[in-house]
Structure 1
Amino acid sequence: MDLATVQDQLKQAGVTDLFGTKNEVRALPTILTDDEQIVYATSGLVDGNTVLVVLTQTRILFIDKGLLYGIKSTEIPLDMVNGVSYGKGLILGKVAVTNGANTTMIENIEKGNAPILADRIKAMAENYKVNLRNPAATPALDGPDQIRKYKALADDGIITQAEFEAKKAQILGL
């Protein structure tokens, strides 16, 4: 994956706040796998450090590129997410992600981005867990049902309109 692909995925995901994380964005091509898709991202504070929070279809990444210690990347696999909550203040918000006995608090998120991040983490984690439990249990859908399913995902903001259009064209064989 290259930087142009990462920037395109960020744009398609509707990412608006990358305050103070330009170096972290530049490091994403070396951290993400080729088949990972960015679902959402925002900047925030974790343990007092400015980080880039990146949600993909398989994990939540917390990336901090410091001047002295290089890059620090931690992750929470989506199947380990037990709970997600958010709060909003006058200007900034925060999101708490619980995995097992650990809670990661992401603070100083732009107020409008906190509920978006929380909702997308919840949706992606549930979808990931369902697919892990029942990979073959999903019944085969015909073309119109598949298109309806992807349209609902686009309407809920889980995939972008461009991704929906591409999947629709693929299903219709265009």
Structure 2
Amino acid sequence: MAFDYKNASPEALKNEYRRIAQAIGDDQFFTKKELAHLPAVLADGEQILAFCSGLMDSSTWLITLTDQRIIFLDKGLLFGLKQSAIDLDKVNAISGETGVFFGKISIQDGASNRTIDNVPKRTVVPFTNLVRDAINNRKHGKHTIGAAQADDPVARLEKLSAMLSKGLITEAEFTEQKARILQSV
């Protein structure tokens, strides 16, 4: 079942981020603010496949691969937010290089080439491979469960019911959202 990043508790988010970080080899050390902000920029049902951190434009960025796009987030040292994204359908190429301790990832789309330096060496190959696989899956119509459930009214109603039973929404909010979902069918 898809993970609900937008409505998850802080503890559930922390555990999910830890699971993803362990799978990719990232330490999450320099990107805690960006990870905290990430659910706010995700679309409903969008699933995180991987993330890593590195330097781009003299700042530390969180680079997040989802089932739909690659998101670049920099929360800034004191304030502000820089955010950009590349839809997976627009990525032309991804490449990686590793050095002794760090590596670099380059992502090209039709308009630009983004290079992320000082990426932890152990994350370069898994991240680039996952991007390549996600692009291939989208080209061949293979979407993750999260993306498929975003359009499924039954799954949306089940999710809404679970939110009500957990006390995350009120009965009035449940009734309003249920009516919207049923109208769209």
Q: Same fold (TM over 0.5)?
A: yes
What SS class does the counterpart of residue 107 from structure 1 fall into?
strand
Moved over 6 A (4+): none
> Given the alignment of the two structures, is residue 32 of structure 1 paired with residue 42 of structure 2, yes or no?
yes
1:11 to 8, 12, 18: 18
1:61 to 71, 76, 80: 71
Q: How far did residue 69 of structure 1 move? A: 4.7
What SS class does the counterpart of residue 30 from structure 1 fall into?
helix
Gaps of 5+ in 2: 1-5, 143-185
Gaps of 5+ in 1: 133-174
Residues 110-138 of structure 1: CA deviation (Å, up to 9, x unaligned)? 11101111111111011112218xxxxxx
Q: Report the TM-score when normalising by structure 1.
A: 0.70
Q: Distance in 2 between matches of 1:125 and 1:5?
A: 28
Q: Report the TM-score when normalising by structure 2.
A: 0.66
Q: Distance in 1 between matches of 2:11 and 2:83?
A: 21
What SS class does the counterpart of residue 131 from structure 1 fall into?
coil
* Structural RMSD (CA): 1.7
Residues 9 and 38 (structure 1), Cα distance of their counterparts in 2 relative to 1, 3 Å cut: farther
Residues 67 and 88 (structure 1), Cα distance of their counterparts in 2 relative to 1, 3 Å cut: closer
Q: Decide whether the 8 Å contact of 1:6 with 1:28 is kept in 2.
A: no
Q: How far did residue 10 of structure 1 move? A: 2.3
Q: How far did residue 68 of structure 1 move? A: 4.8
* Stretch deviating more after TM superposition (21-30 or 4-13): 4-13
Q: Distance in 2 between matches of 1:59 and 1:4?
A: 25
**Number of residues paired by the alignment?**
132
- The within-5 A match list for 1:127-142 is 127-131=137-141
Greater Rg over alpha carbons, structure: 2
